[in-house]
């Protein structure tokens, strides 16, 4: 979508340092006249080196990184509105400054947050935030069609944005300064809640792959397999090469928040639950949630040991931009297989363990409401204030039962519903409802059945707290294109 870029003219400063500026996002040279003039002033004075390289958007950043990897850009590399991967930065030996706008809709702040996280401890990389800047704030004039489709409304004027950029570049070139220090601190503050949310999801966007519980390599997972039986023709082969020992076990959100919420155990009984990432359709072997022990008697101190199974669905969804650099990093949904409340209560010897416990249409929606609440409580204060003033709200609605179809339970294919509806009281005139499909199987014979009869289940489609956080930071601020959209 953003393939075109323009290499702008090379400027000679009074200090004999060349400024090479590469544009992107479908913008032409005229869009960078003001920025070029502002940056030219930063080169005045005594600087060591011959060339400073500045690139805007993903295409501009790629061009200057390519040049730097070839030994150019000895004064430094400055990427505006871009979040290159650490792998892309490996061959660059010069100092680098990355400046993000917290209202960038083309390269959302979550991408920048992950870039900062994955560059922790690497010397010579600086990440700074220009408050109130959008993607177009790094240029001038009319945005290209590609930028206009996804960018957010800036809170800075063009002149203020370019002056702010120049100030940060000035400090970077002089090896430090108050403006750069404040902008780097702001980047860390803004990134924290996003990174925490992605950790809760168990996101692979943070740079580590998901574990395979059938072939454990991470000793901290301690995930017991159940039922550990396969359809013909036996189990799938082990990953080759083996997954690393620091792979992601599963979703901490599912294990530590969703599971106890769904089970509703009464003190002094607690659940020690572990989650694993596996594809729902994988039957080599089967992957089912399970409770491995039972309590001795009612209302006695007891810890139940259980497992759940989750599949993160990594896609943007109809209400989000689909381009690689603009889409959310978080999962569209977490397909989670939980045990039923009836089954858990029976193992806990808790009175009232009847099938009706799982007829509630709020089991999954209450967990999704908790994900949104977590994001609202942990979002940066300034971001939260902006969201409440201008953002499109998320509203949780009751679960809907996924029926059994010709090919089995439709729960696997039916995805979490995000639906835009009119709302005259919201800042945008709309809100988005979130609705989970639910699938329940009674705990026949208290679970004492052969492994190929999966009983005592309550499956949910869960919203990740990271998807809620990205919504609050960026996606809620996009102008809705239509009144009602069904996903």
- 295 and 172 fall within a common domain: no
- 134 and 236 fall within a common domain: no
- 161 and 284 fall within a common domain: no
pLDDT at position 194 is: 98
pLDDT at position 383 is: 98
- 211 and 192 fall within a common domain: no
Token reading at 140: 């001038």
**437 three-class SS:** strand
- 196 and 277 fall within a common domain: no
- 304 and 341 fall within a common domain: yes
State pLDDT tens for residues 388-407: 999 999 999 999 999 988 77
- 59 and 78 fall within a common domain: yes
Q: Do the domain assignments include residue 276? A: yes
Q: Do the domain assignments include residue 2? A: no
pLDDT at position 398 is: 98
- 366 and 252 fall within a common domain: yes
Token reading at 323: 């381009």
For the chain, how are helix, strand and coil distributed in percent, rounded to 5?
A: 35, 20, 45
Q: Do the domain assignments include residue 486? A: no
> How far apart, in Å, are the Cα atoms of 278 and each of 198, 201, 211, 251, 290?
18, 14, 9, 11, 15
Q: Do the domain assignments include residue 6? A: no
- 182 and 250 fall within a common domain: no
pLDDT at position 72 is: 96
Task: List the one residue out of 24, 29, 35 whose CA is nearest residue 58.
Answer: 24
Q: Return all residues near 204 (Cβ < 8 A) that are at least 6 apart.
A: 210, 248, 312
Q: Do the domain assignments include residue 279? A: yes
pLDDT at position 5 is: 42
The pairing of beta strand 437-441 with beta strand 400-401: parallel
Residue 485's CB is within 10 A of a number of other CB atoms, namely 16
pLDDT at position 480 is: 67
> How far apart, in Å, are the Cα atoms of 230 and each of 225, 283, 311, 455?
12, 6, 19, 17
Task: List the one residue out of 68, 70, 57 whose CA is nearest residue 20.
Answer: 68
Pick from 134, 166, 201: which residue ends a domain? 201
Residue 143's CB is within 10 A of a number of other CB atoms, namely 20
Pick from 142, 171, 201: which residue ends a domain? 201
Q: Do the domain assignments include residue 3? A: no
Q: Do the domain assignments include residue 164? A: yes
Within 7-69, residue ranges assigned H as helices are 33-42, 57-69
Q: For the chain, which residues score pLDDT lower than 50? A: 1-15, 481-487
- Domain count within the chain: 2
Domain that holds residue 438: 204-477
Q: Do the domain assignments include residue 483? A: no
> CATH number, domain at 183?
3.40.50.1820
State pLDDT tens for residues 111-126: 999 999 999 989 999 9
- 183 and 217 fall within a common domain: no
- 338 and 217 fall within a common domain: yes
- 234 and 381 fall within a common domain: yes
Pick from 201, 222, 257: which residue ends a domain? 201
């Amino acid at each position: 979508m953003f393939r075109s870029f323009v290499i702008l003219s090379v400027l000679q400063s009074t200090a004999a340092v060349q400024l090479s500026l590469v544009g992107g996002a479908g913008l032409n040279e005229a869009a960078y006249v003001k920025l070029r003039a502002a940056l030219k002033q930063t080169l005045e004075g005594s600087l060591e080196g011959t060339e400073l390289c500045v690139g805007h958007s993903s295409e501009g950043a790629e061009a200057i990184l390519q040049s730097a990897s070839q030994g150019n850009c000895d004064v430094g590399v400055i990427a505006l509105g871009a979040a290159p991967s650490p792998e892309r930065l490996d061959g660059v030996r010069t100092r680098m400054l990355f400046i993000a706008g917290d209202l960038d809709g083309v390269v959302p702040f979550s991408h920048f947050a992950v870039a900062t996280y994955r560059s922790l401890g690497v010397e010579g990389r600086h990440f700074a935030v220009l408050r109130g800047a959008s993607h177009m704030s790094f240029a001038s004039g009319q945005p290209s069609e590609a930028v206009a489709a996804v960018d957010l409304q800036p809170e800075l004027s063009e002149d203020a944005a370019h002056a702010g950029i120049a100030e940060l570049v000035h400090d970077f070139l002089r090896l430090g300064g108050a403006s750069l220090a404040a902008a780097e601190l702001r980047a860390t503050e803004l990134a924290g809640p996003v990174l925490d949310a992605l950790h809760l999801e168990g996101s692979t966007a943070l740079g580590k792959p998901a574990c395979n519980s059938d072939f454990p390599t991470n000793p901290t997972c301690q995930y017991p397999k159940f039922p550990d039986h396969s359809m013909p023709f036996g189990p799938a082969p082990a990953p080759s090469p083996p997954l690393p020992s620091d792979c992601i076990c599963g979703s901490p959100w599912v294990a530590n928040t969703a599971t106890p919420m769904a089970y509703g155990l009464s003190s002094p009984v607690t659940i020690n639950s572990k989650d694993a990432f596996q594809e729902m359709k994988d039957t080599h072997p089967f992957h089912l949630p399970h409770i491995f022990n039972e309590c001795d008697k009612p209302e006695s101190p007891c810890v139940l040991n259980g497992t759940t199974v989750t599949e993160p669905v990594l896609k943007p969804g109809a209400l989000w931009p689909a381009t690689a650099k603009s889409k959310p990093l978080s999962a569209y949904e977490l397909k989670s297989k939980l045990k039923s409340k009836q089954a858990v209560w029976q193992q806990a010897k808790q009175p009232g363990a009847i099938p009706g416990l799982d007829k509630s249409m709020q089991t999954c929606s209450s967990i999704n409401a908790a994900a949104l609440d977590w994001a609202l409580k942990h979002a940066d204060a300034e971001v939260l204030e902006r969201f409440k003033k201008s953002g499109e709200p998320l509203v949780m609605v009751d679960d809907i039962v996924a029926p059994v179809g010709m090919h089995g339970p439709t729960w696997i294919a039916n995805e979490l519903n995000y639906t835009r509806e009119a709302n005259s009281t919201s800042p945008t005139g709309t809100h988005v409802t979130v609705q989970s499909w639910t699938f329940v199987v009674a705990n026949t014979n208290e679970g004492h059945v052969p492994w190929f009869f999966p009983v005592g289940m309550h499956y949910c489609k869960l919203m990740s707290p990271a998807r809620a956080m990205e919504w609050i930071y960026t996606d809620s601020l996009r102008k809705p294109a239509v009144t009602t959209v069904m996903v």
